[in-house]
Amino acid sequence: MNIFNKLIKNFGKANSIALLICIILLLLEFAGDRHGETEYEDFLFFPAFFGFISCIIIFRIGVALRAVFMRDEDYYDK
Amino acid sequence: MINSIPPGLVMFLGAFLVPLFPHIYRQFYMIFLVLLSAISLFSAEGSHLIIQVQDIQFLLHHSDNLSFPFAIVFHIAAFLVIIYGGHIKDWREQLAILSYAGAAIAALHAGDLFTLFLWWEATAFTSVILIFGGKTYRAYRSAIRYIVIQVGSGILLLSGAILLFQSNNEAIFKELDINSTAGLLIFIAFGIKAAFPFLNGWLQDSYPEASEAGTVALSAFTTKLAIYALARSYAGVEILIYIGALMTFFPIFFAVIENDLRRVLAFSLNNQLGFMVVAIGIGTELAINGAVAHAFAHIIYKGLLFMSMGAVLYRVGTCKASELGGLFKYMPITAVCSIVGAVSISAFPLFSGFVAKSLIMSSLGYEGLTFIYFMLLFASAGVLHHSGIKIPFFAFFAHDAGLKPKEAPINMQAAMVLSSVLCILIGIFPSLFYQILPYSTYYQPYDFSHVLSQLQLLMFAVFAFICLWHFKIYPPELNSTVLNSDWFYRILFYKITNFFVIRLFGLWEVFSSSLIKVVKLIYVKVQTSSIQSGNSAVKVGRSTVLILFSLGFVLVCNYLLF
């Protein structure tokens, strides 16, 4: 109980609930036969891993591309 | 009799009577026309209205199992946009919405390429009014660029149709050969409207500049008409798989860095079109069903997202993520509807995006296109990032921007709630939804494996975003312009043209001044001889030189030609 209180205090209520859902989804992997459209997806926790990493990659590339594609708001009006 | 009238025609023609009706009665009149147009949908498959003009046959009303689902969702979209724009008092915008929707629906029922061309251009000319409806100088300039590109697409379509007619003596709107010149021209024409990579600049340039209701209407018809045209003429063309995969991939990053939330949605629209294009490229029955289902669901949830951002724009006056935040307290219904749209586009189970996108992903799996499959899976996480999280989070939550707007007008709320209900109903009853698709194939999207995989993918992507935000790694949104493919013609082409035009004028300057010198020299001699003979002097200017030069040019041409 103390761990949950600490988690909610440090991470926020909504964030903690999201984390809890993620943990439940990982545990559900053992409740049935999960298989994907391709054989790679059959690895344990593959979709979870893929979703997390994809989001981080998109964020990293997005931040890097700011330097290349971002201009002043009135760029086309000059 | 009524069944032979092409659906959409009554809407298109009836739109011109819109100015005669006062404000509220106008909405009822417009809804009546949409319902009247929908009656023709239930005519049997085949060609119903054919007009022969000299050698050309215009198939004005052709319906089949492919046009049917598109026609249904176009009518639904028209109905929702009319309700959403119910507060608009400007009859020009109402006229544009109704005639644009009518033209798009009529285009779906074109049986030949000449008829398609007529409606293709009609959608361009009616939709541009909606961009002018933004009523800003930026909107005006964007509308000009938009119409040039749209008409250009129509000219390519017409050129292809003429070439096809010359070789086949007919220009039926059916499967076309991409390897022929006619087929290629028409493919590019469709590709422009479907916002293929590097042909997509017009979409992100113009859609966010239109009025609130205008953007919702624009998001529904033009691009989906192109998807329909591709599905009819180029199903199974392999290159579409790669084009579509690129379309799903690149807009994600642009959407992530874009600050204007309606422009984020325009990038997201491009990404969603990519899924449909991939499915058309695969071309199997399951894949075509997937493309149509995705187009159907997409029109509703994307419209819903544009509606929610339009409501924010209407109440707050801006749609920039950097200036929004904390609106949930003041616009709760808009926020909830926006979340429904966001969850649908992210393809969470029990929402429309899931039952539509699953068809496409499964067809990729069945065909063994593993690399493309993972590109689209990556793009799915991207969709969640920019449309599923960024849109509702930055508008309604994030930080409190100190804004205290009223909730959206009641008509906007009604349209958003109706759209949300449709998103949920499609998600809950997929078997009913699948019945209107072109092919009757059995598909079950809800099984343990599929649902768990999707939930893991999405929830862990959400969790990644939470971590980035919570630990303050996610950078703040900035007021900025994100360069897109329209940069090529707005900046690069402009600079190149400018460079050559300046040099051309420079050359003309050198040429004309030397010509003046020569002519002056001749005149000085004439002057000298005139003064000597007692006549007055003659002044030589540029106009004189120009007239002399033109006369000389005409004389030389005359001599050479005749």
| 3-class DSSP state of B54 | coil
Same domain, B195 and B246: no
Between CA B314 and CA A47, with CA B422 as vertex, the angle to 5 degrees is 100
Q: How far is A1 from chain B (nearest CA, A)?
A: 22
Last-in-domain residue among B445, B480, B515: B480
Question: Taking the model in full, what pTM does it have?
Answer: 0.90
Residue with tokens 């966010």: B208
Average pLDDT over residues B97-120: 95
- The number of domains in chain B is 3
Residue B108 has pLDDT above 60, yes or no: yes
Identify the CA nearest to B280 among candidates B187, B371, B205: B187
pLDDT of res. B139: 94
Q: Which residues of B touch A18 (CB under 8 A)?
A: 459, 462-463, 466
| 3-class DSSP state of B101 | helix
Same domain, B543 and B513: yes
pLDDT tens digits for range A59-76: 999 999 999 999 998 898
Average pLDDT over residues B496-501: 90
β-partners of residue B172 are: B112
pLDDT tens digits for range B369-408: 999 999 999 999 999 988 899 999 999 998 888 888 999 9
Q: Which residue of A has its CA nearest to B474?
A: A59
Same domain, B189 and B210: yes
Interface touch A73/B479, C-beta < 8 Å: yes
pLDDT of res. B47: 77
Query: Sorting pLDDT into bands at 50, 70 and 90, what band is B518?
Result: confident
Exposed e or buried b per residue across B223-253, where buried means at least 16 C-beta atoms within 10 angstroms of its C-beta: bbbbbbbbbbbbbebeebbebbbbbbbbbbb
Where in the sequence is the domain holding A18, given as residue range(s)?
2-77
pLDDT of res. A6: 75
Give me the residue from B366, B448, B465 closest to A32, CB to CB: B448
Rounded to whole angstroms, the Cα distance separating B341 from B65 reads 27
Helix axes B332-345, B285-316, angle to 10 degrees: 160
Which helix (H) or strand (E) segment holds residue B92: the answer is: helix B91-108
- The number of domains in chain A is 1
pLDDT of res. B378: 95
Interface touch A71/B138, C-beta < 8 Å: no
Please state the ipTM of this predicted complex.
Answer: 0.93
Average pLDDT over residues B32-43: 89
pLDDT of res. B548: 80
Average pLDDT over residues A17-40: 90
Same domain, B146 and B37: yes
Residue A39 has pLDDT above 60, yes or no: yes
Average pLDDT over residues B40-68: 83
By percentage, how much of chain A surpasses pLDDT 70? 99
Same domain, B396 and B446: yes
Phi, psi dihedral angles at B413 (to 5 degrees): -60, -45
Residue B537 has pLDDT above 60, yes or no: no
Cβ atoms of residues B157 and B116 within 8 Å: yes
pLDDT tens digits for range B131-175: 999 999 999 999 999 999 999 999 999 999 999 999 988 899 999
pLDDT of res. B206: 95
First to last CA, chain B: 61
Same domain, B385 and B284: yes
Same domain, B230 and B244: no
The separation between CA B347 and the C-alpha centre of its own chain, rounded to angstroms, equals: 22
Same domain, B225 and B266: no
What is the identity of the amino acid at B436? I
Same domain, B198 and B284: no
Same domain, B289 and B420: yes
E-assigned strand segments in B77-161:
none
Cβ atoms of residues B456 and A48 within 8 Å: yes
Residue B488 contacts A where some CB pair is shorter than 8 Å: no
Last-in-domain residue among B423, B455, B480: B480
Q: Which residue of A has its CA nearest to B484?
A: A69
Same domain, B119 and B36: yes
Same domain, B503 and B400: no
Q: How far is A3 from chain B (nearest CA, A)?
A: 19
Where in the sequence is the domain holding B550, given as residue range(s)?
487-561
Residue B338 has pLDDT above 60, yes or no: yes
Last-in-domain residue among B206, B234, B262: B234
By percentage, how much of chain B surpasses pLDDT 90? 73
